[in-house]
Amino acid sequence: MEHEALVKKWLMSDQARMEALTIAAARKLPGWCLAAGFVRNLVWDKLHNFSKNTALNDIDLIYFDPDDISDSRDHEIEQGLREVSTFPWSVKNQARMHERNSDCPYTSTEDAMSFWVEVETAVGAALDDDGDVILVAPFGVKPLFDYTITLNPKRPKRTDFETRICAKRWLQTWPRLVVKVL
């Protein structure tokens, strides 16, 4: 089975992730997806044949709205999400993240994700208007199946990369992974 189809199948068979996607879709945010560990961890869990999913520290709901880049909007959205679920939401409008990262303004959610520190983290999932899972992945989903943690050549911050690997304990959680610096 093709990698993208497999990721979609795994997401659709994960009740909690589908619930989170449904809740996020109801917000009707522009260019939204649930990204980072939401997809990455699921794939790595499956590749490691874990019988139980690794717990998510948070669920990263990202979106792209250049008309309102205020921090307060993200907090309002988070509060609304917490009123309808117990998931650990983290909401970030990618239209302002270029400021934090000292980049030129991003043009979309996918463009913003293409600057994330690790290639494998830059994968998100959303639901289309018909309720079908769609993937947002500027580098594709194949890197998730390569058992690698890869420094993004567009964001070659080696110290941040190494700090994240240690802090998040990815190599301890998924011991078959290897670090790849291009």
Q: Provide the phi-psi class of 3: left if phi over 0, else alpha when psi is between -120 and 50, else beta.
A: alpha
38 beta partners:
none
Which residues are CB-contacts of 156 (< 8 A; sequence separation ≥ 6)? none
Q: Are 43 and 7 in contact (CB under 8 A)?
A: yes
Rounded Cα–Cα distance for residues 35 and 73 (Å): 19
The reported pLDDT for the residue numbered 31 is 98
Please give the pLDDT value at position 150. Answer: 97
For residue 81, give Cα distances in angstroms to 33, 77, 107: 14, 6, 26
Question: What percent of the chain has pLDDT above 90?
Answer: 97
pLDDT at residue 182 above 80? Answer: no
pLDDT value of residue 107: 98
- Please give the model's pTM, rounded to 2 decimal places: 0.96
pLDDT in tens, 115-156: 999 999 999 999 999 999 999 999 999 999 999 999 999 999
Does 1 score more than 90 pLDDT?
no
* Close Cβ partners of 163 (under 8 Å, ≥ 6 residues apart): none
Q: In this predicted model, what pLDDT tens digit does every residue of 157-175 receive, in sequence order? A: 999 999 999 999 999 999 9
- Tell me the C-alpha to C-alpha distance, in Å, between residue 131 and each of 61, 115, 179: 17, 28, 35
- pLDDT of 61 higher than 90: yes
Average pLDDT in the 58-74 region? Answer: 97
pLDDT at 181: 85
Nearest to 78 by CA among 27, 14, 38: 27
